[in-house]
Structure 1
Amino acid sequence: MPKPMHLCGFLIAGPVVHSHAIWRNPAHETPFLSLDHYVRIARLLEQGCFDFLFFADRLAIADRYGDSHAAGLARGDQDATRMDPMPILGAMAAVTRHIGLGATRSTTYDAPYNIAREFATLDHISGGRAAWNVVTSMNDGEALNFGTVPHLGHDERYDRADEFMELAFRLWDSWDEDALVLDRAAGIYADPAKVHYVNHRGPWFQSRGPLNIPRSPQGRPVIVQAGSSGRGKAFAARWSDVIFALQPNMERMRAFKADVAGALEAAGRPPGASKVLMAIMPFIGATRAEAEAKEALHDSLADPVAGLSTLAAHANTDFSSLPMEATVKEIAASGSQGNLAALRSITPDGGMTIAEAGGVYARGVMCPRAVGTAEDVADQLIAIIDSGAADGFVVSPAFLPDTFEDFVREVVPLLQARGYLRRGYGGGQLRDLLTEGAA
């Protein structure tokens, strides 16, 4: 029997995603400030039987490269615009019935009560389809926007995040499943004995609780996490239902998956307790030559300076004073340790130059590609699944909605015919989709 393949659509509520060329699509405008744009994508991905979609997010304009926002704003980098995804997900919930809906929220620049309330609300109005992509935040720009200067160190952010999750889970559990009575005849709304104070006091947070929302359909949202450092993997292994990974090649995919298995065991969780979804950017054509032409056009529109601005934000380091021929080994990051390690791994001995890194980041932030006919792309995805290197994929678009349209129309039917992807949804919640087999 084929292993089930889980699919997620990757989005940012702005002009680019991993691809920095999206807003420059010569075929049509990309109305990234329009609600209709996102609603159309949600319907499309549900048509393709995706498990869920989620919005990546950050809380600042990128301004590390050259200690200025000039490069990123002029060229449209990954942080040039990011709208708040939560209102968009509410609209998506109204026009879909099955696909999961996820948003990024930071444990560093928010409060557990706010987060618990937001995702309980989304879970209720979507009928049990909410997902939270947990981030700890890593950038000086974000710290400056919230007055937290300097920002917390790498491991300290995860220490805070652990307590954040403990409290959020307790808040979601503060209403028993049967606490809501709704006895209209007797006039009893809820059973007070089944709604519990939390009375949390810890190093980072204090909260009395209980949450002012009844227990949601899933009890808590599906937890998504993308930590790729050692500490990040330990955090993900403890809390997540899904781990999103961006690894540039099969070798690193396998190594990452093995690391996750070890981290899950160390956390006392069973194998497969958290699904590992690898990022992939497909280019699909009627022929391989057509797909390669699409890829070449896309790459020609990806500005390397925009990529350097995004890279500097991810690394939380201004390396603009380094010569373009310097190598990425010379970038000292206080931000994303995993991303920089992956970038160094692409070339032998970390010999990629800064100029080359800008191009890699602009074209897709190291997102690996599947290029060819629909059959070629399906074969590549199946090979990764069959090798045990992933449980599924986070599909990252080169253009919107073009990439998703090609994938749903051409690749999804092949995956379904081969038994790797469901042909439709049952009546379950998002967590059920992530645990079911292929139909």
Structure 2
Amino acid sequence: MWDANSRMCLPVEESILCLEKHHSRMDLVCLDYPKAGMPKTPTELQSSRCCPTLLLENRNSKGLLMGWSLILPLSWARVFWISIISKGAHAIGLQEKRWVACDVGLPDFPSDFPDCNAYSYFMVAEGANIKQNAEKLPPSVRPFKVPIPSPWNVVRATVHKGLLAMGDMQHCGDEVMADRNSLSNSKCCDCNTKPHSSLVNSLDGIVARTSCVLTDFLSEIHGDCLLLFPGFQNKTGILEFMMDENKFGNGGSQITSDRKLCYLRVLLHAYKEGVFEEGAVVCAPVLGDILLWTSRSENIEGGLQIPQSSVRSYFKQQLCGNWEFQISQDPVSRGSHRWPIGFVTTGFVRGSKKPVAEAFCEATLLARLRQEQWKRMPEKQRRTEIYVLVRNLRSSAYRLGLATIVLEQQVDDVGFL
């Protein structure tokens, strides 16, 4: 390789190369031109026609070649760029790079790393840009404001209450409404006393990107009985486990809610229909929601929806900048409320043959959902994926999705594009 501290020879100037090509063409057509050689400038004497390069293979988890990475000295980047583009290569930007990463199931940095400060800064900048563009539109067509970055703190409420999607949602709503005012008042007081920070709604917890980290987390919270299979790449073994109800256990019902949260990256596929956008909220379905889509006799036209009046007020921004989800006192709104377990960080790529979205969901909530679905659903309808509901923030409709935990497909999830 090369030493960045040592002086690197610059490429030959383009004007000299063009003049050499001109002389070559003159020789080709046998035209006379002055034979005197061109004077060598100091720049030409210090330049070079070759440079060291580093070519790296990019392979996925299955060992298949996905592409190449070319590393060059900085002073030679323009020369190679012009040559590659002139030979038919297509340049892409950061957005296209993100689409490619999502299409192959890889995370993109920093948008798919919500546990990093780079993600917070990136999302704050993106939110400011979206706000600036929205203010240029007339008020009548201006889209309403949605939380950017995603309000990860609302997942803590789901864990704190220990609420399962398969439970009694009506009773859960009554319980939350009883103490929501006191909870909001205490948080508002904190907002007034704490200095305002631009990095609000940061991820409350960790992201397990290796099987060892997830295993250590489960051991720390005494959740070895949870239905999570880190590094369990033998799908046949999971299917056999899924059919044996004696192995389901109690699903970690004794795990306390006063603990750190652990998020897992999941790949989301729509069940039958739907488009999942960036920032969409991932919620826990009840059994009736799943049967609404999976039962052939049911008509899913319209599906499960929240009232249009609740779309704007689903998340409310506090004075300190944090966003909190609101449960309406209206019985219809409360009946359609589903508890959030995570958020989509990369939405569907338009035009993709196999659209997939990437999301991060809380590990114990995923395990409890899987346990309830395996217990209550017939054997033929059980799946290794986990049924979830996804709702785009500016839409009132929920869509059924299938969540695949990445760490159950591979040992590590540390690669990115």
Could you state the TM-score of these two structures normalised by the residue count of structure 2? 0.23
